[in-house]
Amino acid sequence: MAELANFLDDQVAAEIRRELEIHLAHCRTCQALYDSARKTLTIVTESHSFELPEEVSSRILERIMSKVRGGRQGRSNPSGRPRKRH
């Protein structure tokens, strides 16, 4: 199982990779499992899930920077509860 994790990340030594491939070549269950695990990786990587919406991004930036700049003028606890959203 640990090797499978490395295998998915292309990090196994050549010999073990070959071993796994020999096994995959004639074990239909593992082949389906491996193939779908690879596809899962691709799907997740390319899904752009949980993108930060543009307006939230600028709101966060604005608030952080106002506290950081404000903090320079005397505020000592910038990690206090943030303002409620409008």
Partner 1 sequence: VGFLPEAELGEAFWPFSFFREHFGFIPNLFRAQTLLPRVIEAEAKIADAILLKEKALSRRQKECILLAVSAAHRNTYCVTAHCQMLRTIGVADRQLRQMTIDHRGAGLPRPDVALLDFGLKLTRQPTRVSRQDIDGLRRHGFEDEAILEAILTAAFTDFVCTLSEGLDAVPDFRPRKLPSKRIPLRGNVRPRAAHGHETPKPYLRAVELRPEAFAPFAFFRETFGFIPNIFRAQTLRPDVLEAEAEALRTVLLTDDVLPRVQKEYILLAISAANLNTYCVAVHCEMLRALGIPEDESDQIAVNHRQAGLPVADAALLDFALKLSQHPTEVGQEDIDRLRTHGFTDEQILESIVMTGLTSYLNTLQMGLGTVPDFEPRRVFGVQAGPARKAASRAGDEMLNRLGIPAGLTDVDQDVVRPVVVTDPDGDLVARVRGGDVGAFEELVRRHQRRIYRTLIGITGNAEDAEDGTQNAFLKAFERIGKFRGAARFSTWLVRIAINEGIQRLRTRKKVTGLDDDGSKGAEEFRPRQVQAWDDNPEQLYSKAEMRELVEKSLMKLPAGYRMVVMLRDLEQLSTEEAAKALGLGVAALKSRLLRGRLMLREALAPHFISRGKGPTRV
Residues at the site binding partner 1, with contacts judged by CB under 8 A = 1-6, 8-9, 11-19, 21-22, 25-26, 29, 31-33, 35-37, 39-52, 56-57, 59-61, 63-65, 67-69, 71-72, 78-79, 82, 85
Token look-up 């990587």 returns 45
Q: What are the tokens at 67?
A: 């506290």
To the nearest whole angstrom, how small is the minimum distance from the Cβ of residue 29 to partner 1?
A: 5
To the nearest whole angstrom, how small is the minimum distance from the Cβ of residue 14 to partner 1?
A: 4
Q: What are the tokens at 1?
A: 């199982």
Closest-CA residue to 67 (of 53, 80, 56)? 80
